[in-house]
C-alpha cells in the first residue's frame, strides 16, 4: 500500500496547474447516459474515482474512449442498467447513475452506497424525488430498484440541501414529461456546471445556482462537448498548503469565482490573495492568524475545506473554533493531527484549535479524502518527517498531488 513521505520545512513557491473538478466530472460523466449520441468532456482529471466510474459505465454498455484529459462517451445501447455493490462501495458517487438510468431506460438497479468515514451518507432524498416523479422505487437486499416507463414532472422539496441529490433529480427531470421544480436545491458550482452541459445537450433548465431549479422535460437529448470546470477544492487545498509554509504561489487554470468564502478566511489569516482571470496568486505571512469557521452549503464555507483549515489553524497564532454542520463525523483528521502535536479539543460538531509554534513529524494514517489532504498540509510544515499511510484516499481526489507539491519545492516522495 502506497505511503507518502514528507520532509517538513520547505516554503512553497512557484506555480502549478489546477485539474478539472472531481465533483463536477462525476455527475457530468453520468449525464452521458441520457443520450444515444456521443458526449465529449475535456479537462477531465486523472483520478481513481473517475476511472472507477468509467469502468462502471463501460460495464453498462457505454462506449468509453479516453485521450489524455479528453473523454468521449456514447451510450448507444444500455445493456445492463446495474451498479453493483462491489463497485459502488468503493465510490459512492456512483449513485449518480440512478436517475439517468431510470430516465433513459425506464429502470435501474443500483447498490445503496452505504456509509463512509465521514457519515451515514443516506440517499433518501434521491429516492423521494424519483418517487415524486412517478417512479416505483423499492430498496431490496441493499439495492435501489427503480422503474418508470416515463417520469413525470413534479414539484420536489428536498429536506436538506443535497448536492448529488440535486444533480440526480435534475438529470431525471431533463427527460421527464412536463415541468419539474426542485426547491431547496444545492447551489454549488458543480450543479451549475452540470446544468450548463445538460442545456448544451438540449435540456431546458433555469435557476441552476439558485435554490429553485426549474426543468421543462424534453423527449430526447443530443450529444455535445463540454469542458469540466476547475476543481475549487483542489485549488483551496494548495492555497492552504502555501499559506501554512509562508509561501508564495500562483495556481493556473482555475478561478477564484467559486472560492470567496475560502479566500476571505485566508485573507483574515493574513494572506495576500490576488484573483486573476484564470489564476489565483497567494502570498503568505511569516505566521498565520487562527481563523474560526462554520461549514455550510454553497456559497458559504465548504465542508470539503474544513479539514485543510484545521491543519492551517494547528500552526496559526491564537485559537479558532471550527464547526462542521454538514456531516456527522468529519473530524477523523483531528486525532491524526494530534499525533503531530496539534492542540485540538473536540466537542460534538465543534473543534477548538489552539495554534502551536511547531508540529512534529510522525507516522499518521489517512481516513478519507480531505482528511488525507489535511495531513499533507500538516506534514509540509511539521519538523522532521511525516509518513502518511493509506494514501489511496488522496489518489481518489487529487491528480498528481506529489508531483505538484514537488514542483512547488516540497520534499515529498511516494513509498510502498
**Residues known to be catalytic:** 116
The residue within the footprint of ligand EPZ, chosen from 3, 11, 66, 121 (CB under 6 A), is: 121
Rounded Cα distance between 124 and 283, Å, is 44
Q: What distance in Å separates the CA atoms of residue 12 and residue 51, rounded to the nearest whole number?
A: 30
Question: 122 or 207: whose CB is closer to ligand EPZ?
Answer: 122
Specify burial of residue 402 (Cβ count, 10 A radius: 0-12, 13-18, 19+). buried
CB atoms within 10 A of CB 259: 25
**Is residue 26 within the footprint of ligand EPZ (CB under 6 A)?**
yes
- Three-class DSSP category at 327: coil
Question: What string marks each residue from 56 to 95 as x (binds ligand EPZ by CB under 6 A) or -?
Answer: -------------------------------------x--
Instruction: Out of 123, 229, 282, 378, point to the residue binding ligand EPZ (CB under 6 A).
Output: 123
Residue 124 annotated as part of some ligand binding site: yes
Q: Please, what is the minimum distance in Å from the beta carbon of residue 51 to ligand EPZ?
A: 15
CA pair distance 90, 116, nearest whole angstrom:
10
- Of 118, 188, 152, the C-alpha closest to 334 is 118
23 binds ligand EPZ (CB under 6 A): yes
Task: Please report, as residue ranges, which positions from 373 to 412 form the binding site for ligand EPZ (by CB under 6 A).
Answer: 397
CB count in 10 Å sphere of residue 354: 16
* Smallest distance, ligand EPZ to C-beta of residue 180, A: 17
Query: Judged by CB, which is closer to ligand EPZ: 123, or 408?
Result: 123
Binding mask 170-199 for ligand EPZ (x = CB under 6 A): ------------------------------
User: E strand or H helix at 225, and its extent?
Assistant: strand 224-227
Nearer to ligand EPZ, 188 or 402 (CB): 188
Q: Residue 67 CA to chain centroid, in angstroms? A: 23
**365: which residues sit within 8 A by CB, 6+ positions away?**
336, 388, 389, 390
What are the residues whose beta carbons fall under 8 Å from the beta carbon of 303, sequence distance 6 or more? 295, 324, 325, 326, 327, 330
Contact between 209 and ligand EPZ per CB under 6 A: no
Of 19, 111, 148, 164, the residue at the interface with ligand EPZ (CB under 6 A) is: 164
**What is the contact mask toward ligand EPZ in residues 296 to 335, using x (rule: CB under 6 A)?**
-------xx---------------------xx--------
DSSP state of 220: -
Does 119 sit near ligand EPZ (CB under 6 A)?
Answer: yes
Distance (Å, whole) CA 289 – CA 384 = 23
Residue appearing with cell numbers 435540456: 203
Q: Which residues bind ligand EPZ (CB under 6 A)?
A: 23, 26, 93, 119-126, 160, 162-165, 303-304, 326-327, 369-370, 397
Provide the annotated binding site. 22-23, 92, 121-125, 304, 326
Amino acid at each position: 500500500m502506497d505511503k507518502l513521505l514528507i520532509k517538513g520545512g520547505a516554503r512553497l513557491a512557484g506555480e502549478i496547474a489546477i485539474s478539472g473538478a472531481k465533483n463536477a466530472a462525476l455527475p457530468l460523466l453520468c449525464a452521458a447516459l441520457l443520450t444515444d449520441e456521443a458526449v465529449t468532456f475535456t479537462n477531465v482529471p486523472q483520478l481513481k474515482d473517475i476511472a472507477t466510474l468509467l469502468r462502471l459505465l463501460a460495464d453498462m454498455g457505454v462506449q468509453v474512449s479516453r485521450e489524455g484529459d479528453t473523454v468521449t462517451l456514447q451510450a448507444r445501447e444500455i445493456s445492463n442498467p446495474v451498479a453493483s455493490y462491489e463497485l459502488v462501495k468503493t465510490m459512492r458517487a456512483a449513485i449518480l447513475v440512478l436517475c439517468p438510468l431510470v430516465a433513459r431506460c425506464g429502470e435501474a438497479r443500483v447498490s445503496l452506497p452505504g456509509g463512509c468515514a465521514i457519515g451515514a451518507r443516506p440517499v433518501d432524498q434521491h429516492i423521494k424525488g424519483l418517487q415524486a416523479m412517478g417512479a416505483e422505487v423499492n430498496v431490496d437486499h441493499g439495492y435501489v430498484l427503480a422503474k418508470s416507463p416515463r417520469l413525470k414532472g413534479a414539484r420536489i422539496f428536498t429536506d436538506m440541501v443535497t448536492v448529488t441529490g440535486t444533480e440526480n433529480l435534475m438529470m431525471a427531470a431533463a427527460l421527464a414529461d412536463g415541468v419539474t421544480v426542485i426547491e431547496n436545491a444545492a447551489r454549488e458550482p458543480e450543479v451549475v456546471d452540470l446544468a450548463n452541459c445538460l442545456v448544451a445537450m438540449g435540456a431546458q433548465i433555469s435557476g441552476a445556482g439558485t435554490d429553485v431549479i426549474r426543468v421543462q422535460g424534453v423527449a430526447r437529448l443530443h450529444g455535445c462537448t463540454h469542458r469540466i470546470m476547475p476543481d475549487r477544492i483542489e485549488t483551496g487545498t494548495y492555497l492552504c498548503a502555501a499559506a501554512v509554509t509562508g509561501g508564495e504561489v500562483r495556481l493556473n487554470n482555475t478561478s477564484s469565482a467559486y472560492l470567496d468564502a475560502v479566500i476571505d478566511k485566508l485573507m483574515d489569516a493574513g494572506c495576500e490573495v490576488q484573483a486573476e482571470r484564470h489564476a489565483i496568486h497567494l502570498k503568505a505571512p511569516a505566521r498565520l492568524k487562527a481563523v474560526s469557521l462554520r461549514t455550510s452549503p454553497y456559497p458559504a464555507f465548504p465542508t470539503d475545506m474544513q479539514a485543510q483549515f484545521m491543519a492551517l489553524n494547528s500552526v496559526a497564532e491564537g485559537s479558532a473554533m471550527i464547526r462542521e454542520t454538514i456531516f456527522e463525523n468529519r473530524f477523523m483528521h483531528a486525532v491524526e493531527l494530534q499525533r503531530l502535536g496539534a492542540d485540538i479539543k473536540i466537542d460534538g460538531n465543534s473543534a477548538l484549535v489552539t495554534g502551536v509554534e511547531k508540529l512534529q513529524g510522525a507516522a499518521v494514517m489517512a481516513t478519507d479524502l480531505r482528511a488525507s489532504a489535511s495531513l499533507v498540509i500538516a506534514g509540509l510544515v511539521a519538523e522532521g518527517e511525516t509518513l502518511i499511510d493509506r494514501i489511496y484516499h488522496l489518489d481518489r481526489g487529487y491528480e498528481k498531488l506529489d508531483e505538484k507539491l514537488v514542483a512547488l519545492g516540497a520534499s515529498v516522495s511516494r513509498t510502498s
